Amino acid sequence: MNRKVTGSPTLLLDVEKCKRNINLMASKAKRHGLIFRPHFKTHQSLEIGQWFKAEGVSKITVSSLVMAEYFASEWDDITVAFPVNILEIDRINSLANRITLNLLVENTESVTFLAKHLHFRVNLFLKIDVGYHRTGIDPGNLDLIEEILQLIESSPFLRFSGFLAHAGHTYRFRNAIGIEMIHRLSLAMMRQLKEYFSSRFPGLIISLGDTPSCSLAENFTDLDEIRPGNFVFYDLTQHAMGSNSVSTIAVAMECPIVSIHKDRGELIIYGGGVHFSKDRLDFENGFHFGRVVEKKPQGWGDPISGMYVTALSQEHGKVAVPSELIGQFKIGDTLLILPVHSCMTANAMKGYLTLEGKWIKRCY
Amino acid sequence: MNRKVTGSPTLLLDVEKCKRNINLMASKAKRHGLIFRPHFKTHQSLEIGQWFKAEGVSKITVSSLVMAEYFASEWDDITVAFPVNILEIDRINSLANRITLNLLVENTESVTFLAKHLHFRVNLFLKIDVGYHRTGIDPGNLDLIEEILQLIESSPFLRFSGFLAHAGHTYRFRNAIGIEMIHRLSLAMMRQLKEYFSSRFPGLIISLGDTPSCSLAENFTDLDEIRPGNFVFYDLTQHAMGSNSVSTIAVAMECPIVSIHKDRGELIIYGGGVHFSKDRLDFENGFHFGRVVEKKPQGWGDPISGMYVTALSQEHGKVAVPSELIGQFKIGDTLLILPVHSCMTANAMKGYLTLEGKWIKRCY
């Protein structure tokens, strides 16, 4: 590693691992004839976006209009994978004037509002609830779907693109079989909608694509588009679900050791909830907020057995250390820690420091 | 309220409630003859800092050197209530050159390092562990205390200020009796140290002061300084502990409703983990991430029975609504939501919007 230690919590990025993750997902999409529209809410960085362009990606997904505005300087086809927020109509119009803007709707109120207030054309996806029960229309609710489609058809500024879903309930599983089952069920539902509506809307597409399904599944028959995001970095949650091997995790937080308590087998680090976020992962002894990995000349290696972040305050973290290892650490050393949820951790930080010592900014 | 709705998640600040919270704590400190050195990690704002100056406050606490640098433009006596991170020695020297800088130490390694690398004088507090077991020296470990004091005495750049503790274990209680007990135990330990060392160090002070203890306790005999922070806004966690009435909570997040699911009694809001943080509070049915309050012409009123934020994704929140109320809400309305942990929520946002429509920035 050519970089200097910054001295405060820093999110390190292994560019090689990250580019490999991008390449593998792009290749998988190509192999299955899928449009690859990656979700950029995980990295939120124009520079990392360029690595996707190098793989031929030209369409992206984001989770807010703020993010869409940030990426619109370099991307001209953006899906905002969040139900239309009618209070942001000015932002929607401004973006729709500049780029191909794809929005999600799931109720008549928003579509009626858009039809009345849009000055530029937008593409609409109907958000379908395939079982996650966060947002979306029940796929069997043909009355509501029909009502929304008629509203869309009667507006010159609205174009129906197809059906979109997020099978976020894959995250409740800790095994490939459960995730594969959710993926197959979701795809089956979306396929029925496609078959039902495609004679009336010949160009409609169906879009799915959480990271666990896209990482593990091999059956994408009739699917048109995938939108995974987390895979760009992966994390310990994905690893616990079986989406990836731990060696593919492309980010690690570097944290200084500020206190050592041998009597209770604990290191205290500079690195807290404001850096990691408070997402946690269940494990044998309760839950943890991250795992310490071995330092290597070229980055990092495997997690060190028994070394977990067991608590986070605003700026402090507590790290459990097996008694036979604690003598190896001293005040002023740093630890490298894999995050539980890389999207939230990346969002908490201002950018990334590559192993070569280069800063990569993110939108904030 | 004179402000316009912004249309995206916005942390509203009721300036009157906030100033009243500041006034009550400042008055309590005065009444007990205590130095009031409030912790600014909660609000992180120079402008809100001015409201403390108006109450005669001249010394503050922060939790990082970054925050100390931000506040050093207007404050010349700052305690960094975090164990010295020797990797930030350049920042320490630069601050020590400009202001009265008070640091926390709890091991010989850091003190030895400071003695060798400081170019300007700093005041040191010995961090004492009064039972929270995060950082600090066991108050009975006189050998270690003595060793550190000798290191301090032998350096021209180090001055011993006294003993400092944070009774963070008060947060494990949900009743005033438990909190009062922890406070009395902590104070008793600190008082012993003061008595033992004050003939040798006549000016030494003892400093305590989490928000629950400072809000609820009335016995501060022999204590010199308090450092509460959260009370500036309070939050639902403090309320659950009995520190404050819910009407003193001075911040609420305004979130647009983007989706309504009457069948399952749920509203989906634009407002997620990147806005609230993921701190949660246990309650009868599991846990929640915030409570919806009534809107009032002059701000907000009491929590609405049964309306809880039950889940947070990156940008989405799920709000449970009793079936008899759900008909009152429509797409494009906003909800006002009290946060579970105001320090983390404030830290996630770029600033505050007052009820009068004025933006107040925070350090970020």
Cβ–Cβ below 8 Å for A315 and B64: yes
Is residue B191 less than 8 Å (CB to CB) from chain A?
Answer: no
State the ipTM, two decimals.
0.95
- What CATH number belongs to A39-228? 3.20.20.10
Per-residue pLDDT at A255 exceeds 70: yes
- Tell me the backbone φ, ψ of residue B104, rounded to 5 degrees: -110, 135
DSSP one-letter code for A202: T
Instruction: Name the percent of chain B lying above pLDDT 90.
Output: 94
Write the pLDDT tens digit of every residue in B145-172: 999 999 999 999 999 999 999 998 988 8
Nearest CA in chain A to B320: A134
Instruction: Tell me the chain A residues in contact with residue B256 when contact means C-beta distances shorter than 8 Å.
Output: 85-88
- List, in order, residues 6 or more apart from B44 with CB less than 8 Å away: B67, B70, B346, B347, B362, B363, B364
Q: CATH for A245-357, among 3.30.450.20, 2.40.37.20, 3.10.20.740, 3.40.190.10?
A: 2.40.37.20
> What is the pLDDT, as a whole number, of residue B2?
61
The whole-chain average pLDDT of chain A stands at 96
Give me the total of CB pairs closer than 8 Å, taking one residue from chain A and one from chain B.
141
Which long-range contacts link B239-244 to residues 24+ away (Cβ below 8 Å)? Answer: B240/B174, B240/B281, B241/B170, B241/B171, B241/B173, B241/B174, B241/B175, B241/B179, B241/B212, B242/B174, B242/B175, B242/B176, B242/B179, B242/B212, B242/B216, B243/B179, B243/B211, B243/B212, B243/B215, B243/B216, B244/B215
The yes-or-no verdict on residue B334 having pLDDT over 70 is yes
Are B279 and A278 inside 8 Å of each other by CB? Answer: yes
Over residues B215-229, the mean pLDDT reads 97
| A110 with B274: Cβ contact below 8 A | no
Cβ of A258 within 8 Å of Cβ of B8? The answer is no
Tell me which residues of chain A, numbers 241 to 260, contact chain B at a CB-CB cutoff of 8 Å.
Answer: 256, 258-260
pLDDT band per the 50, 70, 90 thresholds, residue B285: confident
Residues of B in contact with A109 (CB under 8 A): 330-332
pLDDT at residue number B173:
84
pLDDT tens for residues B169-189? 988 888 889 999 999 999 999
Decide if B134 and A318 are in contact by the 8 Å CB cutoff: yes
Q: Is B313 in Cβ contact with A8 (below 8 Å)?
A: no
User: pLDDT, tens digit, for every residue of A119-163?
Assistant: 999 999 999 999 999 999 999 999 999 999 999 999 999 999 999
Across the interface, whether the CB atoms of B256 and A87 are under 8 A apart is answered: yes
Sort out which chain B residues have CB atoms less than 8 A from A8's CB and list them: 64-66, 85, 87-88
User: What is the reported pLDDT for A4?
Assistant: 84
Domain boundaries, chain B: 76-228, 245-361
Instruction: Give pLDDT tens digits for A207-253.
Output: 998 999 999 999 999 999 999 999 999 999 999 999 999 999 999 99
Least reliable range by pLDDT among A173-187, B34-48, B70-84, B348-362: A173-187
The predicted structure's pLDDT at residue A205:
98
Q: How confident is the model at residue B284 (pLDDT cuts 50, 70, 90)?
A: confident
Overall average pLDDT of the B318-343 stretch: 97
pLDDT score at A1: 54
Cα–Cα distance for residue pair B29/B225, rounded to 1 Å: 8
pLDDT at A109 > cutoff 80: yes
What is the share, in percent, of chain A residues with pLDDT greater than 70? 99
Asked if B134's CB is within 8 angstroms of A344's CB, the reply is no
Please tell me the distance from the alpha carbon of residue B318 to that of residue B338, in angstroms, as a whole number. 14
Residue B1: its pLDDT value, please? 53
pLDDT at B170: 86
pLDDT tens per residue, range A17-70: 999 999 999 999 999 999 999 999 999 999 999 999 999 999 999 999 999 999
Contacts of A259 in chain B (CB under 8 A): 83, 106-107, 135
Question: What's the average model confidence in pLDDT over B67-85?
Answer: 98
By C-alpha distance, the chain B residue nearest A345 is: B274
Does position A175 have pLDDT exceeding 60, yes or no?
yes
Cβ separation A330–B109 shorter than 8 A: yes
Q: What is the pLDDT of residue A310?
A: 96
pLDDT the model gives residue A171: 85
- Nearest-Cα distance to chain B for A119, in Å, is 19
What fold, for B76-228?
TIM Barrel (3.20.20)
Cβ atoms of B82 and A314 closer than 8 Å: no
Evaluate if residue A285 carries a pLDDT over 80.
no
Check pLDDT > 80 for residue B364.
Answer: no
- Of the options 1.10.3720.10, 3.40.800.10, 2.40.37.20, 3.20.20.70, the CATH number for the domain spanning B245-361: 2.40.37.20
Does the pLDDT of residue A2 top 80, yes or no? no
Residue B57 has pLDDT above 70, yes or no: yes
pLDDT given for residue A340 in this prediction: 98
Whether the CB of B140 is below 8 Å from some CB of chain A: the reply is no
The closest CB to that of A63, out of B64, B315, B318, belongs to B315
Annotate B254-317 with DSSP letters as a single string.
EEEEEEEEGGGTEEEEE--HHHH-S--EEETTEEESEEEEEEETTEEEEEEEEEEEEEE-SSEE
